[in-house]
Structure 1
């Protein structure tokens, strides 16, 4: 029977070849970092609505349509404000016996603008016949893209800094970044306070303009990568 043991000379050669291979192997780290900016909100969105009730569905619909159409028409005078129709619905009201006793309806107008002066003026006009459901502030697509371009180099520099700290702790050197993923921005909104100014002289109705204070949003850009150390 042939022996299955390796000859001493052959075994020495295999061990000698394995040592340089193990020494040549590096360490790969999966790291992530981010950069953040406080950006002034430069865009406003608002929802205004009218809600009424009537015993006749057709009469109710006519009133909702007239008020909504009038509001949209008023918006055409403000070239820096975008108005569009929002949700529209009608539903029955029931008496104690479960029979339809009338109808209710609601119609919305959506407002969007980067001009806070025009937006405040138009909101005040629309509030003569409609109710304001809510106002939201945010960062426009253009401002977001500019902020992202500024944050990408900073986020990558932060990732490299983490790699260098890890390399020193392990007694290694940073060889290269093998893979880099740039994530989407996350948003941390800082709600502003909306106050009301005193009514302006000569105003068409007793609705004062809202004092819009847009505040800021915090944008954050994430990057992750695979770093090789040797």
Structure 2
């Protein structure tokens, strides 16, 4: 069998044309890449950094208290039993005040040594934590517990639900204040408008520090029974910071 080779006179021209087309496309691509990078690196003119705040004084509607018991014993076993008995009694008392949320706090037991570094006994400390928006019920419960426990601290704050509600409103106010400042700059610089580039919203607060107590149980109980609890205020603040570009 004889095989014939058929030559096409147009084949070299087609190959040459395809080669030059590919070369031209590569050249154009190489030229466009630096141009794209140049656009990315182009300086951002008329870019302005801004800040605005929205604040509000909010009544502290939540009361938190930490009470503790501290006992000594020569036996760690009997000491643990005494602490457990005290905490259980506190929980039974707290059950009479359903408006108050009660939880057990930190507990610790450690040895006591004399001047000659000889073990002479054991000491245990246990805490319970109270939290409520009912100040009267919380104060009454504290007074009822102080025949066996002492007050470590009392703190007043804004409850989580109230804080979220106020912060949501302050975010809107801070955003509006930010926009107002942007419009003032737009007018001052005689710009046609502005575009928001970035914006951060951060919530902050300034609450009262906790009131620390160091009274004996009997003295503290007498004091708490006649105490008129006032929670005071906390200042909630939302800060809006970001940048705009004037057109």
TM-score, length basis structure 1: 0.78
Aligned to 2:206: 188
1:99-114 pair list within 5 angstroms: 99-114=118-133
Deviation of 1:40 (Å): 0.5
Aligned mates of 2:175, 2:224 — CA distance in 1: 48
Distance 1:174 1:26, change over 3 A: farther
Deviation of 1:169 (Å): 3.3
Are positions 1:96 and 2:106 aligned together? no
Aligned to 1:67: 86
Distance 1:187 1:94, change over 3 A: same
Aligned CA RMSD, in angstroms, stands at: 2.1
Deviation of 1:180 (Å): 2.5
Aligned to 1:41: 60
Q: 1:32 aligns with which of 35, 51, 60?
A: 51
Distance 1:169 1:141, change over 3 A: same
Query: Is 2:113–2:121's contact at 8 Å kept on the other side of the alignment?
Result: yes
**Structure 1 outlier segments of 4+, above 3 Å:** 190-194, 205-208
TM-score, length basis structure 2: 0.73
Aligned to 1:6: none
Where in structure 2 are there 5+ consecutive unaligned residues?
1-43, 213-220
Counting helix residues as a fraction of each chain, which structure ranks higher?
2
1:1-230 pair list within 5 angstroms: 27-183=46-202, 185-190=203-208, 208-209=224-225, 210-230=227-247
Query: Is 1:192–1:215's contact at 8 Å kept on the other side of the alignment?
Result: no
Instruction: Tell me whether 69-78 or 145-154 shows the greater mean CA deviation.
Output: 145-154
Aligned mates of 2:239, 2:189 — CA distance in 1: 25
Instruction: State the secondary structure of the residue aligned to 1:211.
Output: coil
Aligned residue pairs, count: 195
Instruction: State the secondary structure of the residue aligned to 2:237.
Output: strand
Query: Is 1:31–1:159's contact at 8 Å kept on the other side of the alignment?
Result: yes
Distance 1:122 1:225, change over 3 A: same
Deviation of 1:165 (Å): 2.7
Where in structure 1 are there 5+ consecutive unaligned residues?
1-24, 195-204
Aligned mates of 1:78, 1:173 — CA distance in 2: 63
1:128-163 per-residue CA deviation (whole Å, 9 max, x = no partner) reads 110000001111111011101221221112112221
1:28-73 per-residue CA deviation (whole Å, 9 max, x = no partner) reads 2121211011011111111000001112222222111111110011
Counting strand residues as a fraction of each chain, which structure ranks higher?
1
